[in-house]
Structure 1
Amino acid sequence: MVESGRRVLIAEDEALIRLDLKEMLEEEGYRVVGEAADGAQAVVLAADLRPDLVILDVQMPVLDGLAAAEQIAADRIAPVVILTAFSQRDLVERARLAGTMAYLVKPFQKHDLVPAIEMAVSR
């Protein structure tokens, strides 16, 4: 367990995945300070809550995760970790250009999550 107390915002449109992610994070000592079901809501919450890290799913309604990541990175709100079921090279490149600090492919395990978060926050 990390016991970092880092404040994390989660944006994932699938409620069950969001719940699983929240539980994993809390088990590892992170504090989930906000949850969003779409990218636009994530951008607003990130600006309001100023978390230490934002975790975004790529495919979400209203505003996708990459567009949300761009806005969050441009405003220097917090580092972003992208979650996706896809690992195509062009998507990874788009995520990099959007300013994301780490990229996790679903399904992922708790032991994948912590290093990605800590690397993103340390950048």
Structure 2
Amino acid sequence: MFRPLESSECHDDFRYSICRSRNPPRVLLGNRFLNRKKMNEIRLPSRPTKSLRIVVADDEAYIRCYFSRMLPRLGHRVVGSASDGRELVELCGAERPDLVITDIRMPIMSGIEAADQIAKSQSVPVVILSSHDEPVTNNPNIIEFLRKPFELQELARVIARSIT
């Protein structure tokens, strides 16, 4: 039931995956399209000393796809993805991840409510994604709010801070 998205599932969304309608194919990174050659030239941050097991939750499939593609490039492994808060809580109970990255607004249960539920059973750092202002919360597991849209380097810095 819970699993990372397969790469074949990611090709249909033009926003973060290969755009088949163009020749040569292009990829959208941040707010600009890159052809495959330019994508290979992107300088990724240096690989971390520890590879994290990460669970991703977002109600938008293309965001989950983005993380399934980019986190391995940063040296981490996506061990599961959820489309709502309730799935996220169940997935964290089953997978025991090192880090959770979740959208704040999701169906059934918000990212903050899910983080509160997860905190009752385990201490796992949580990064909240939001395209709005930071909410007020006193959950110590929430280590960072990352505002959408974000750059890959910013995501890498947030993940590196979660390791320390």
Unmatched runs of 5 consecutive residues or more in structure 2: 1-45
Unmatched runs of 5 consecutive residues or more in structure 1: none
Matched, 1:107 2:149: yes
Deviation at 1:75, TM superposition (A): 1.9
Look up the SS of the partner of 1:20 in the other structure: helix
RMSD: 1.4
Seq. identity, % = 38
Alignment-mate amino acid for residue 80 of structure 1: V
Q: Which has the higher helix share?
A: 1
What is the TM-score of this pair, normalised by structure 1? 0.88
Asked which structure has the greater RCO (Cα within 8 Å, sep 6+), the reply is: 1
Look up the SS of the partner of 2:51 in the other structure: coil
Alignment-mate amino acid for residue 2 of structure 1: R
Alignment-mate amino acid for residue 47 of structure 2: V
What's the CA shift string for 1:45-73, capped at 9, x where partnerless?
A: 00100011011100000111000011112
Mapped partners of 1:117, 1:58: distance in 2: 17
Alignment-mate amino acid for residue 83 of structure 1: L
Deviation at 1:11, TM superposition (A): 0.4
Structure label with greater radius of gyration: 2
Match of 1:98 in 2: 139
Look up the SS of the partner of 1:98 in the other structure: coil
Runs of 4+ residues deviating >3 angstroms:
none
Match of 1:10 in 2: 56
Alignment-mate amino acid for residue 153 of structure 2: H
Look up the SS of the partner of 2:59 in the other structure: coil
